[in-house]
Structure 1
Amino acid sequence: FTVESNKLWILQTRSGKRTAKSAVKIAVDMVKEKLISKKNAVTRINPHSLDTLLHPTLDEKSKINVIAKGLPASPGAASGKVVFSSEEAERLNEMMQDTILVRVETSPEDIHGMHAAKGILTSRGGMTSHAAVVARGMGRPCVSGSSEIDINYDRKIFKTTSIEIKEGDLITIDGSTGRIIQGEVLKVKPEISGDFSKLMSWADSFRKLKVRTNSETPLDTKTARDFGAEGI
C-alpha cells in the first residue's frame, strides 16, 4: 500500500500464509465479529490442513537443526532413538524407549516394528508408498522419500550432506512438513477443544455423511474413534 495526499491506496493483495491453527482461529473470530457465517467459516478451511491439528506438533519456540527433508507422508511430530530394524524397535519399545524406524523402504514384514516405533522415516517411496499408507492408518508420523539421506544397514548409520547419524542417536521427524531434525524437540499435544472444537461442531451441523473408518486392528479402531469416527 501507499499513502498519497492523506489518501490510502491499496496496490497489491495476496492470501497471507498461516498455520492450520491460525486459520481456524481467524475463521472462528470472524464469525464472532459477525463478518462471515458459520458455514462460510467452515468452507474457508482447507480440510487437509486440519489433520495436522489432530497430532502432536513441534513447539514453535524450540531451536531446531534441520539435517534433511523428505515428503510429509503422515502428519504429526515424533522423537526417538534411530533404529534400522523392526526387531530393534520392538526390543526398545519393551524397555519403554521411544524409537524412529529408519528404512530404505518398508514392507508388510515391518508392520510390528512400525507399531512399536513412534515414527517412520524412509529414503524411498512417495505419498502412496507402504510406509506412508500404513503410517497414516496407524496415526504415526512419517517422512518418506527423503533422497537426502543415505542409509547403510551394515554400519547402522545414515548420512546427510552435513552429518552422520548412528543407531541410538536421537532425531525428530515432522510428518506435517517433511523435516528431519537432529536431537529431541519439545512437542505440543493436540487438543480437540477451543476454536477447533467449535469449528468442527459447526461442520457437524452441516454435513450429511457419517464418518467411519476402515480398520483391521483394535489399535487402528481406537485411533479412528479418538479422531471422531462413528463406526467401522
Structure 2
Amino acid sequence: LENHYSDMQDIEFTIQEGKLWMLQTRVGKRNGAAAIKMAVDMVREGMINKQIALMRVKPDQLDELLHPMLDSQAEQKAMLLAKGLPAGPGGATGQIVFTADDAESWHNNGDKVILIREETSPEDVHGMHAAEAILTAKGGMTSHAALVARGWGKCCIVGCGDLHINFHAKEVQIGDQLLREGDWITMNGTLGKIYSGQVDLIPADPDTHPEYKELMTWADEVRILNIRTNAE
C-alpha cells in the first residue's frame, strides 16, 4: 500500500474467521521531523521526486524544527493535565505564576516561568515576553495571547476551560490537581496539551537534522523567489 500510494499509510484492518480484512487506508499523520525524514527517505528510495517531497512538507511542519519540542518518549510517560487550543508552537516547561509582574520578576531572577491568566491584555505584555510560555483559560486562536505569542514564536495554549484560577491564593485547579505558584508544568503548544511537572525538551537546532538541510537544498534548486533582508 505504501508503494502504491507513495506515502506512509494509516491502515485499519480486522481478522475474522482466520482471514485478514483490510477496512480502509489513508495517509498517516506525522509531526514535522517525521514529515521531513519521510519525504527525504522516499526520494532516496526512488518512490517520489524532489518536487513532490517539497510539496508534502507543510510550512507549519518546518516551523516545528525552529522551536524546542517535547521529547516524544518522555511525553508519553508524562501525566496529562488538560488540553486547550494550540495557539503558539513548540514546547516549554516552567514554574507557574499568575501575574505579568511576577513573571518578569521571576525571570529576572533566572527562573523559567509559565504565565497563567484568564486571558491576557496589552498590560500583560512584559510578563508574556519574560515567560517561557503562556496559558489562558479563555480566548481563541485570534485572542490577544494567541496573536502575540505566534508573532513572537512563543509556546502558547489558550481556551483551556479546565483551568479554575484563584488569583488571590495564587493557585489553579486543573481537574483533580491543585497547583500553586512555583509548581512545574510542561506545555506542548503544537498539540495544545498541558502536563504535570517537567518533561524533557529537545532544543531547537535544525542543523542537527541532516534531512532538513537536504530538503532546504532541494528548495533552493527550484525556488524562483529571491529573499533579501535588512540587517540593520
- Shared fold (TM-score greater than 0.5)? yes
Matched AA of 2:52: N
Aligned to 2:84: 70
Aligned to 2:43: 31
Higher strand proportion: 2
CA distance, structure 2, for counterparts of residue 86 and residue 118 of structure 1:
12
- Does the CA contact (< 8 Å) of 2:133 and 2:155 recur in 1? yes
Aligned to 1:42: 54
- 1:104 and 2:157 are equivalent in the alignment: no
Cα offset, 1:76, TM superposition = 0.8
- 1:14 and 2:20 are equivalent in the alignment: no
CA distance, structure 2, for counterparts of residue 10 and residue 69 of structure 1:
33
CA distance, structure 2, for counterparts of residue 114 and residue 89 of structure 1:
8
CA distance, structure 2, for counterparts of residue 142 and residue 12 of structure 1:
35
1:117-165: CA deviation from partner (whole Å, max 9, x where unpaired) = 1100001111111111111111210011101111121111111122111
Note the aligned Cα RMSD (angstroms): 2.2
Q: 1:148 to 1:208 in 2, by over 3 A?
A: farther
- 1:196 and 2:212 are equivalent in the alignment: yes
- Does the CA contact (< 8 Å) of 1:101 and 1:114 recur in 2? yes
The gaps in structure 2 that reach 5 residues or longer are 1-12, 15-19
Matched AA of 1:36: I
Cα offset, 1:9, TM superposition = 9.0
Aligned to 1:218: none
1:67-95: CA deviation from partner (whole Å, max 9, x where unpaired) = 11101100011111100011111111111
CA distance, structure 2, for counterparts of residue 81 and residue 9 of structure 1:
50
Aligned to 2:106: 92
Pairing of 1:201-220 with structure 2 (within 5 A): 201-209=217-225
The alignment's TM-score, normalised by the length of structure 2, stands at 0.84
CA distance, structure 1, for counterparts of residue 71 and residue 97 of structure 2:
24
- Does the CA contact (< 8 Å) of 2:86 and 2:191 recur in 1? yes
Q: Secondary structure at the match of 2:65?
A: helix
Aligned to 2:196: 182
Pairing of 1:140-155 with structure 2 (within 5 A): 140-155=154-169
Moved more, 73-82 or 192-201: 192-201
Cα offset, 1:60, TM superposition = 1.4
Cα offset, 1:10, TM superposition = 6.5
Cα offset, 1:43, TM superposition = 0.5
Matched AA of 1:66: L
CA distance, structure 1, for counterparts of residue 23 and residue 127 of structure 2:
55
**Aligned-pair identity (%):** 48
Moved more, 155-164 or 200-209: 200-209
- Does the CA contact (< 8 Å) of 1:211 and 1:231 recur in 2? no
Matched AA of 1:119: A
The alignment's TM-score, normalised by the length of structure 1, stands at 0.84
